[in-house]
A = this chain, B = another copy of it.
Amino acid sequence: MTDLEAGREALLDHVEALIAQRGGVSITLAELAAAAGMSPANLYRFFENKEALYEAVAERWFAPKVRAMEEVLASDLPIRQKFYAFYARRLGMICDDYARDPALFRSYLELGQQHIEIVRGFIDLADHFLAELIAEAIAEGYFPGLEIDSAVSLVNLMLQTFCDPELVVMLIHSVSEEKLAIVVDTIFDGLRGDRPSNVRRLTRAAR
């Protein structure tokens, strides 16, 4: 780690302490400088502006989740296990983070809502990884008749409650690894687009 990186990490610890104290209220660079006993000019060496600071905060929050997704993608697990692990590792992290300090976790969620354009970048990255997994599954014959994009959208809709931190926290007593495993099996055994939906066909006939 360079001195610059070490300095940034130490400052991000101060940011976390401020978030823990004050909740999900945006922190100004002047406040951070004061908390860190540093001049604003000196702070500027580490973070050019508030935007850069919040990108670093988000980066630190998402980094272990991104690393887990990358590790799973690079692994040689069979596709169904890979898919499960892709969600289970993040679910485990979210539940652990929340259990460690529920108030701090909620403050991060509030900050995320205030900086949705930064969060969006990480959601897009997760979608990109998911598309890779789904392409691998389709190549093995799963999800017959579905394009990658449609399958990504359908899987996101079905698994949103297991990976959106906001929803996981809302449903914390309902989600579990066991249920995730059953849902992943349901998707691998049941999701297809190669025949007109039974439901739609019969619903239309009934009209």
| A interface with B by C-beta (< 8 Å) | 77-78, 80-81, 83-85, 88, 153-154, 156-158, 160-162, 167, 171, 174-175, 177-179, 181-193, 197-200, 202-203, 206
Contact = CB atoms under 8 A, between A and B. Distances in A.
A154 B160 CA distance: 13
A186 B190 contact: yes
Contacts of A190: 185-191
Contacts of A192: 185-186, 189
Contacts of A80: 198-199, 202
A141 to B, nearest CB: 15
Given A80-B198, A190-B190, A154 B182 contact: yes
Nearest to A78: B202
A194 to B, nearest CB: 11
A83 B160 CA distance: 21
Contacts of A83: 199
Nearest to A151: B182
A182 B193 contact: yes
A174 B199 contact: no
A203 B153 contact: no
Nearest to A193: B182
B197 A185 contact: yes
A167 to B, nearest CB: 7
Contacts of A154: 179, 182-183, 186
Given A81-B203, A179-B154, A167 B174 contact: no
Contacts of A160: 160-161, 167, 171
Contact of A171 (B78, B157, B183, B199): B157
A206 B77 contact: yes
A30 to B, nearest CB: 32
A9 B173 CA distance: 38
